[in-house]
Amino acid sequence: MQQKNRSRHRHMTSFQVISLGFLSVILLGSLLLMLPIATKSGQSTSFSDALFTATSAVCVTGLVIKDTATYWSLFGQGVILLLIQIGGMGIITIAIAIATVSGRKIGLMQRSTMQEAISAPTVGGIVRRTQFIIRTTILIEIIGAALLAPPVFCRDFGVWKGIWYSLFHSISAFCNAGFDLIGIRTPPFSSLTSYSVQPIVNLVIMVLIVVGGIGFLTWEDIKNHKWHLKKYRMQSKVIFMVTGLLIFLPALYFFYFEFSNVPLMERVWVSLFQSVTPRTAGFNTADLTLLSEVGQMLIIILMLIGGSPGSTAGGMKTTTLAVLVSSALSVFRKKEHTHFFGRRIPDDTIKNAATIFLMYIVLFLVGGMVISSTEDIPLMTALFETASAIGTVGLSLGITPDLGLVSHIILICLMFLGRVGGLTLIFATLSEKKFNGSKYPQEKITVG
């Protein structure tokens, strides 16, 4: 009996499986990127540079030390794309899909882990949801590549390279990764700035980013209920509302204050693109170093918020912001409970949202201050990079390739935590909660 109990205590939790799964794929990807065949020069890449690139790919961030187009060979780019796909859909999603295809039985532990990975409300129907996620992801990415190939990339780079570029950018955009291959004909690290007025590239990439960032469960609502919004889950309604506001309001700011000196059509496209991409794709069609500090700060806020739960995006998540704002409004109105669309939010959810917010803010600020002090660079510049890392965005003011090893390690840790999730990592590290009937005496404390 004691041996059984010990065995049960040693059994890994869902949070530990998710964390170790991401870590294992990152390490494997690093080893593959260290091979001479992975670079165009045929030389081996250092472990630190390979680790940074693999972490950025698996955590669908997009921060890079080496320009993807000019440094990595076709094999290296293929490894990066595979890591992006695995990181975007999730390690557990891929594992469950492989087990299903091979005919293996999916146990309760695997189903519970998958539930945590995609933020599903229940364990029931997890295998069906996994199949839906895989099929929908592949379909959307193929459609995105088909829309980009003939009119743009095949025209600019030739048929075969154009098809590869279309597929690469479609997957990178849908998975909210931000890796690009445009540096082969433009200055390295220039992202999509050469396509700032190309309507197809702008529209397709933005749609892929938004669709990838709204979450797998929201897709399910769209599939099941079509235009009947009243039948959607409360979470899906919140996601649509917050996502719409976070696209529309920043776009207005960029249009009237940051890009007022550019032609009208370019002004419309760059304003929309710069409001969509910080959550959390990492492509850019404008030189971010030319933005005012207010504009850069707005992008930092958007990067920290990120996408939605159970999606390819990172960040604190749109629902976390919504819960915190609604909780504050309930306090202002002297209401006992927080609610959305006629549904009350549990107190545990509000506690989790506050904890996630505090973790992101502390790590973002501490990481930025350490990098600023270590590298002797302006604090705003350092904070931009740390927000990009922990939000798994990939936007940069151009300093990442020149940072030292300590700063790169900080960014690697922030990218990993931003993709896996702060609470997931904490729950994976700490022991299970112990319940007992005793409570401390209650005493009020004044806040505010």
pLDDT at 122: 62
pLDDT at 5: 47
Q: Residue 54 to residues 47, 138, 169: CA-CA distances in angstroms?
A: 10, 22, 17
Q: Which amino acid is at 433?
A: K
**What tokens were used for 86?**
């695995």
C-alpha to C-alpha distance for 75 and 1, rounded to whole angstroms = 52
446 in any annotated domain: no
Q: Determine which helix (DSSP H) or strand (DSSP E) holds 409, and give its type and residue range.
A: helix 405-420
pTM for this model (two decimals)? 0.89
Residue 169: is its pLDDT beyond 80? yes
438 in any annotated domain: no
C-alpha to C-alpha distance for 151 and 158, rounded to whole angstroms = 11
5 in any annotated domain: no
Percent of the chain with pLDDT over 70: 85
Q: How confident is the model at residue 4 (pLDDT cuts 50, 70, 90)?
A: very low
Tens of pLDDT, residue by residue over 366-408, are 999 999 999 999 999 999 999 999 999 989 998 999 999 999 9
pLDDT at 220: 84
| Sign of the alpha-carbon dihedral angle for 59, 236, 217, 214 | negative
Range 276-287 average pLDDT: 89
Number of domains in the chain: 1
Residue 112: is its pLDDT beyond 70? no
| Tokens 């940072």 belong to residue | 403
Q: How confident is the model at residue 97 (pLDDT cuts 50, 70, 90)?
A: low
Q: How many CA atoms lie within 13 A of 182 on its CB side?
A: 22
Higher-scoring residue by pLDDT: 19, 79: 79
Range of the domain at 175: 13-429
C-alpha to C-alpha distance for 364 and 3, rounded to whole angstroms = 44
Residue 243: is its pLDDT beyond 90? yes
Phi, psi angles (nearest 5°) of residue 222: -60, -45
Neighbours of 249 (CB within 10 A): 11
pLDDT at 22: 84
Residue 2: is its pLDDT beyond 50? no
DSSP notation for 92-149? HHHHHHHHHHTT----HHHHHHHHHHHT-S-STTHHHHHHHHHHHHHHHHHHHHHHHI
Q: At what angle do helices 47-58 and 405-420 cross, to 10 degrees?
A: 20
**What tokens were used for 229?**
């919004």
444 in any annotated domain: no
66 in any annotated domain: yes
Chain center to CA of 90 = 11
DSSP notation for 14-81? HHHHHHHHHHHHHHHHHHHHTSGGGBTT-PPPPHHHHHHHHHHHHTT----SS-HHHHB-HHHHHHHH
34 in any annotated domain: yes
pLDDT at 311: 81
441 in any annotated domain: no
Neighbours of 148 (CB within 10 A): 25
Average per-residue pLDDT for the chain: 85
434 in any annotated domain: no
- Picking from 162, 165, 172, 252, the residue whose alpha carbon sits closest to that of residue 209 is 172
| Tokens 């094999």 belong to residue | 75
Tens of pLDDT, residue by residue over 296-314, are 999 999 999 988 887 888 8
In terms of C-beta density within 10 A (0-12 exposed, 13-18 middle, 19 or more buried), how is residue 365 classed?
Answer: middle
